Amino acid sequence: MVKSYSSEDIQNMDHRKRALFINSLSGFKSANLIGTRTEKNVDNLAIFSSVFHLGANPPLLGMISRPDSVHRGTLANIEKVGFYTINHVNKNNYIKAHQTSARYTDSVSEFDACSINKEQNKDFPHAPFVRDSFVKIGMKMVKTVKIELNDTVLIIGEIKYISIDEDIVSPSGYLDIEKLGSVCVSGLDSYHTTKRLSRLSYAKPDKEPSEIGECN
C-alpha cells in the first residue's frame, strides 16, 4: 500500500523516528572507519556512512561531519593535523566498527575500546589505519565547507596513499570491493553485504547496455 508524506507529515514525526526515516531515504551508503590522531597522540577511530566520491583528477573524496560528539572529535583532529585515513568496513569487522559510534571520552582510543587492530604505516605516518580493512586510504585534508543550513561540515580530502589487494584490481581499473566483503549501510544501523547484478557498458544513445565481464 503506497503512502505519501508531506512536509508537514515529516515535520510532525517524533524526532528519533524522523532521524531513522530520513536517513534511510537516500539509498545505500558507504561504510568507512575514519582514523585520526589527537594532538596528544591518542588514535581516534569513528564510523562514517557519508564518504562519497568527489572527483578522480585530482583524486578527491568528501564526507559530512555532523555536530555531535563522535564526529566533532574526528573533525577537530583533521583540522589540527591535516591528515586522516579512510578504511572500508567489511563483513568481518562491522560490529566492532559500529561500536566506534559510542561516545567514548577524548582520552580513550576506539582501537583499544572496540578491540580493533591498528596499523601504523611508514609510507603514511600521519594517522592510524585499520589493519583488518582490505581497502586503506591515506587522505590529506584540502578544504572544509561549512553548511550553515544544519551546522554540518563537508570535509574534502585528496587521496595520497592507497593500500589494496592487487587481486581485486581489474585491468580497466575497476575494484571488486564486493569480493573483499566491503559492506554498505542503510538508515543509521543496518549493515548489508552485496551481490552483483552486473557491470554495464558505457551508455551510448544508439545502443543498449551490454554486460561487462567482471575481470575487465
Question: Please, which of residues 147-186 interact with a copy of itself by CB under 8 A?
Answer: 147, 149-150, 152, 154, 156, 159-167, 169, 172-175, 177-178, 182-184, 186
CB of 7: closest distance to a copy of itself in angstroms? 5
Should residue 57 be labelled a site residue for a copy of itself when binding is judged by CB under 8 A?
yes
CB of 161: closest distance to a copy of itself in angstroms? 6
CA–CA–CA angle 34, 146, 187 (5° rounding) = 50
CB of 181: closest distance to a copy of itself in angstroms? 10
**How many of the other CB atoms lie within 10 Å of CB of 127?**
24
Paired strand residues for 61: 53, 157
> Which of 41, 107, 123, 213: binder of a copy of itself (CB under 8 A)?
123
> Which of 12, 55, 117, 125: binder of a copy of itself (CB under 8 A)?
55
The type of residue at 18 is R
CB of 200: closest distance to a copy of itself in angstroms? 5
Should residue 81 be labelled a site residue for a copy of itself when binding is judged by CB under 8 A?
no
Residues in contact with a copy of itself, counted by CB under 8 A, come to a total of 113
Q: Which of 159, 133, 138, 144 is nearest to 47 (CA)?
A: 133
Indicate the SS3 state at residue 22.
helix
Should residue 141 be labelled a site residue for a copy of itself when binding is judged by CB under 8 A?
no
Should residue 51 be labelled a site residue for a copy of itself when binding is judged by CB under 8 A?
yes
- Beta strand 184-186 with 52-56 is unpaired
Going from the C-alpha of 91 to that of each of 4, 36, 117, the distances in angstroms are: 35, 23, 15
Indicate the SS3 state at residue 184.
strand
**How many of the other CB atoms lie within 10 Å of CB of 131?**
15
Q: Which stretch binds a copy of itself (CB under 8 A): 36-44, 45-53, 71-79?
A: 45-53
> Which of 38, 82, 106, 113: binder of a copy of itself (CB under 8 A)?
113
